[in-house]
Amino acid sequence: MKLTIFTIAALFAFNLGVSAQEQVTDSLEGQKVVLDEVFVSAIRVTNQSPVTFTNLTKEEIKPRNLGQDIPVLMNFLPSVVTTSDAGAGVGYTGIRVRGSDATRVNVTINGIPYNDAESQGTFWVNMPDFASSTESLQLQRGVGTSTNGAGAFGASLNLLTDGFSQDAYGQISTSIGSYNTLRNNLKFSTGLLNDHVEISGRLSQINSDGYIDRARTDLESYFLQAAYKDDNTLVKALIFGGHEITYQAWYGIDGETLESDRTFNPSGIYTDINGNTQFYDNEVDNYKQDHAQLLWNEQISEFWSTNIALHYTRGRGYFEQYKEDDDFSTYGFEPITVDGEEVNTTDVIRRRWLDNDFYGTVFSANYKKNKLDLIMGGGFNTYEGDHFGEVIWARYASNSNYRDRYYDDSSSKTDFNLYTKANYQLTDQWSLYGDVQYRTVGYKANGEDTGLVDDTFNFFNPKAGVTFDLNANNNFYLSYAVAHREPNRNDYEGGNPKPEKLNDFELGWRYVSPSVQVNTNVYYMNYKDQLVLTGGLNDVGAPLRENVGDSYRFGLEVDANIRLGDKFNLRPNIAISDNKNKDFFIDRDDELQGLGDTNIAFSPGFVAGNILSYMPCEALNLSLYSKFVGEQYLSNTDTEASKLDSYFTNDFNVTYEIKMNAFVKSIVVSGLVNNVFNEKYVSNGYTYVDSWSTPGNSFEVQGYYPQAGTNFLIGATVNF
């Protein structure tokens, strides 16, 4: 019944829909590019490009920005599904777009790659409150345009940091909420000094106990930016980063515990010497990450401009863990004799370290004259990482010394790409788009989990499309794009993974008028050797994947923005999709079983969202945010036991601005009630096959990540 209702709603929105999250204009001629957007112009697109995308500005983020991570703030964009380990959007959060997880979403900050080079994931917990330093973001669904870093296999997310401010300002923000959540931040800008220089910055601190037991987070972050501009030059130097201490909540819970104690967290559990159940109080991630960027744009002539950027990221930290009754052999301990008995197991506290450096350059040149808009660019980036483990305490230390390393691995990765892309205005109505990229990746590793790896991948990624402007209000596009992607570090745990290939077809229609906008598109993403999520996790909670041969994603997306008079605004979006593995086989009980076509794991066939806003006066804004996510499977086997139920949540947001004519310019009060109707839902999980002691009897074990019921955040921002 739910599916029928939402299908009718989809057809209704198809006829009336409009483009959500974008400023309403009278035509498709576009907006004036602000000064800072030159740094992302090489990888962002406009309505004149045959690419499916959504923009989200700082002003649209601001009402909900009370301490939750960027994925949570993006939850209401088309085809987006988000989740949170701690259950309330602070700490470890994740995002999927069109069913593709965060490892396939290419993220850049000012055009510079952010995805972790080895795991390919994005860890927003390392940059808490980064939304407060984000000017705008663009989410390109599908392959999108050529960009820097790991190739996009589900989407590209391009973030632009705070823009250039002409005027000086100061800002203090505080928010409090459920689960002892507290956020404080301070922002400032000197404004333009001597008509050329601006310095701005931010300091933030976020603490939360989390919805899940002990899933606490202690987060700190900073952002400092210096900018110089004249008639032809814009230079920015940025340093930003964060420090997170997060109690682990990635284990999830089983179905029985979900019903009886949905906030239970098994992380850190052990039995003391008296037989009592205890929880280790420091089962945490402790990680620091610092970024430095130098960005330089030069307008060489009327037709030519260039961008070049240098970047460096330093990351270091550990996962601390209590292990009960662990084998001596794991740590290279020699057996010992205690009270006449041989001892070869011990309780230990260990730290698993990651110490890495990521650095490189990205560059582009833009030629724009008459009907041709040509961009040539590329990047060269290097990653160097050390993985090692230390025992910091042991009940029986045997022959070890303090902080002996029981494993010590290293890895390195180089990523070089060159691309050329062009838009050519063939006639007043027709424009052509072409984009070719060559990318070469080298990866080396020597871990026990990966084995010896020394792989080189060479990829050629062509893209082509056409755009037709029927008139000033209607625009159609068709595109075809090829993408390749190398395996990540965790993929090597399962053997010798293959690189993936994707053929992406996008057909879309855009309509824009003063009160109505519409983006409607159909996509077909055909994969070869796709590395799909198996539903399992490795020993540090990272999702496992495997090559599946042939698979596809086929879908319809509609996103909308409708002005209903002067006070109401409606922003619905709907995504209907079919996501299948073709002729899927599984190895179970040492037998290869054919399951035919199965659903791809973590790929709901129906996702819908809506934002209903009411502005009774200029100072007051009330919004109801709604999100429906259809049922999805935790594995690729289509078993009922691995199915996650659909869920429907609603959030209520209110902002009120008090304007003043004094030293304090304004005070903005914000309130957010998440999950207003207290929906008890699960947004994520895992599954694996376990076996009985008798061969031939196996079964699937599921774990679930329950999300918080009704919870709130209240904040105030004072602007000077």
Separation of alpha carbons 592 and 612, rounded Å: 50
Separation of alpha carbons 507 and 520, rounded Å: 8
Q: How confident is the model at residue 322 (pLDDT cuts 50, 70, 90)?
A: very high
Which domains does the chain possess?
2-340+366-719 (2.40.170.20)
What is residue 24's predicted lDDT score, i.e. its pLDDT?
39
Average pLDDT rounded to a whole number, residues 302-322? 96
Exposed/middle/buried for residue 63 (C-beta within 10 Å: 0-12, 13-18, 19+): buried
What is residue 61's predicted lDDT score, i.e. its pLDDT?
94
Q: What percent of the chain has pLDDT over 90?
A: 78
Q: How confident is the model at residue 48 (pLDDT cuts 50, 70, 90)?
A: confident
Average pLDDT rounded to a whole number, residues 683-690? 83
Summarize pLDDT for 152-169 with one digit per residue, the tens.
788 999 999 998 888 999
What is residue 38's predicted lDDT score, i.e. its pLDDT?
84
- Residue 434, pLDDT > 80, answer yes
Residue pair 132/204 in contact by the 8 Å Cβ criterion:
yes
Strands (E), 249-344: 269-271, 277-279, 284-299, 304-327, 336-338, 341-343
Residue pair 367/374 in contact by the 8 Å Cβ criterion:
yes
Average pLDDT, rounded, for the chain: 90
Summarize pLDDT for 492-516 with one digit per residue, the tens.
987 889 999 999 999 999 999 999 9
What is residue 690's predicted lDDT score, i.e. its pLDDT?
59
The amino acid sitting at 126 is N
- Residue 692, pLDDT > 70, answer no
Separation of alpha carbons 614 and 654, rounded Å: 10
Summarize pLDDT for 438-463 with one digit per residue, the tens.
999 999 999 888 889 999 999 999 99
Average pLDDT rounded to a whole number, residues 342-361? 96
- Residue 31, pLDDT > 60, answer no
Q: Is the dihedral of CA 325, 326, 327, 332 positive or negative?
A: negative
DSSP SS3 for 70: helix
What is residue 25's predicted lDDT score, i.e. its pLDDT?
41
Residue pair 446/462 in contact by the 8 Å Cβ criterion:
no
For residue 561 the two structure tokens come to: 């923005």
DSSP SS3 for 589: coil
Would you tell me how many other CB atoms lie within 10 Å of the CB of residue 531?
26
Q: What b/e sequence results for 337-366 when a residue is b if at least 16 CB atoms lie within 10 Å of its CB, and e otherwise?
A: eeeeeeeebbbbbbbbbbebebebebbbbb
Average pLDDT rounded to a whole number, residues 477-498? 91
What is residue 698's predicted lDDT score, i.e. its pLDDT?
52
User: Is the backbone of residue 492 left (phi > 0), alpha (psi -120 to 50) or beta?
Assistant: alpha
| 3-state class percentages of the chain: helix first, strand second, coil last, to nearest 5 | 10, 60, 30
Summarize pLDDT for 251-290 with one digit per residue, the tens.
999 999 999 999 999 999 999 889 999 999 999 999 999 9
Separation of alpha carbons 447 and 196, rounded Å: 50
Q: How confident is the model at residue 590 (pLDDT cuts 50, 70, 90)?
A: low
Residue of higher predicted confidence among 26 and 512: 512
The residue length of the chain stands at: 720
